[in-house]
Amino acid sequence: MSDETTEVATEKTPAEIKKEQAKQNRIAALARARESKKKKVIVAEAAITKTETVIPKTDSKIIWFGEVDMNKKGVPSGDYPGWTFDQQIEELGREISSIERGFDLDAYTGKDKVKMRELLKQRKDRYEAIVSSKPKLGGKDKDAVYASFKDLGARIGESMFTYTEMHKQTADAHVEADRMVKPCIEIKSELEADFCKQRGIKIVDGKISRNHASQMAQIFGKALGEGIIDMERFRNQR
C-alpha cells in the first residue's frame, strides 16, 4: 500500500462562495471607511491651520481720485489718478520753473507777459491740485491699505496660470482672457468696495475682473511708496 497522500480538490458550494465574497466586501468597505476618515482629518486640519487675512478698517474714508481727476460728469476720466504719474508731474514742474525763469530774465513783454502770467497760474494750480490729491496715509489707514495690497496681490496671483503652465503652453488662452475682463477676484473689505465705488467699477456677485483688481493693487501700492508695480510679481513661480 502506497504512503502517498492524494489531495482531493473539492469545489466550493454556492453558499461558501457567497460567504467568501461577503467577507471580501466587508474588508473592502472597512478600507474605504478608513481612507475616507483619513481624508476628512486632513481636510479638517487644513481648515484649522489655514489663516484668513483680515483687512482692518480705516479711520476715515480715503479719497483716491481728486477733483482734478474728474470729468464733467463727476467721475474719474482715467483708470489711474493724476498723482500716480510721476513723469507728467515732473514735466509740469519743469514747465513751471521754465516760465518762472522767463519772468526773472524779463523775457516776456506786453501781451506775452500777461499771457504767460496767466499760464503760470494755471500750471501752478494744476500742479498743486495733483500733488495735494495724493492720499496721505497714516495709522489704521496705512495698515488697512497695506493689508489689502498684499492680500489682493495674492488673489491676483491665484487667478494667474503659473510660470510652468505658461512655459509648457498648457495655459488656456481663453480662460486667461476671461479672467482678465470677467469678475473673478473677490472683494474682501469695505476699503476695496469703496475704491470700486469711487472708480466706477461694478462689483458682480462680490467680485471684479483681474484687470480692475490689478489697477486697484497698483494704486494702493503707489500710495504706499511701491511705485506702479508689474503684476507679474504676483504670478506663481512654479
Calculate mean pLDDT across residues 161-190: 82
Q: Are 135 and 61 in contact (CB under 8 A)?
A: no
pLDDT at position 186 is 97
3-state SS class at 185: strand
Would you state the pLDDT for residue 8? 45
Q: What is the pLDDT of residues 181-217, one digit of tens each?
A: 999 999 999 999 999 999 999 999 999 999 999 999 9
**Amino acid identity of 132?**
S
Position 166 pLDDT exceeds 70: no
DSSP-assigned beta bridge partners for residue 204: 207
Percentage of the residues of the chain whose pLDDT score is greater than 90: 61
pLDDT at 70: 96
pLDDT tens, residue by residue, 10-21: 566 767 666 777
d(CA 188, CA 207): 9
Q: Where are the beta strands (DSSP E) in the chain?
A: 185-186, 207-208
Lowest mean pLDDT among 39-48, 170-179, 217-226: 39-48
pLDDT (average), residues 113-120: 97
